[in-house]
Amino acid sequence: MDLATAKTVAISFMMAFGVAFPALAIGMIGKSAMEAIGRNPEAESGIRTTMILVVAFAEAIAIYVLVAALILKFT
């Protein structure tokens, strides 16, 4: 396996594993937010704001992986 192939394989695996776990995390955040809204519908707006904030945190982890992959790809 030469360097270019190894790089491509590395990028693919990195994206696959690096995106799987934040996706799981975002799903869990959404689930618990739904449950909270179901239990307490008056607090919906507050819960939604907090949920979007926390989802952005979880997404940031996927973005770190993406940045590393982009650096590998374009340098």
Partner 1 sequence: MPHVSLKAEKIFEVFGFPVTNSYLTSLIVLILLSLAFLHYNSQIKSGLKKKSKFFYLIHFINESLYHFFNTILGDQTKIAYPLVASFFIYILVQNWFGLLPGIGSLLIKTCHAGECHSIPLFRGATADLNTTIGLGMLSVLLCQVYGVRALGAKEYIKKFYNLKNPISFFIGTLEILSEFSKVFSFGFRLFGNIFAGEVLLVVIAFLVPVLASFPFLLLELFVGFIQAVVFATLTAVFINLAMSKQH
- Binding region for partner 1 (CB under 8 A): 46, 52-53, 56-57, 59-60, 63-64, 66-67, 70-71, 74-75
Q: Is 6 exposed, middle or buried (0-12, 13-18, 19+ CB in 10 A)?
A: exposed
Rounded to the nearest whole angstrom, what is the least distance from the CB of residue 71 to partner 1 in the complex? Answer: 6
Report the nearest approach of partner 1 to the CB of residue 74 (Å): 5
Other Cβ atoms closer than 10 A to 70: 11
Q: Which is nearer to partner 1, 17 or 64 (CB)?
A: 64
Judged by DSSP in three states, 46 sits in: helix
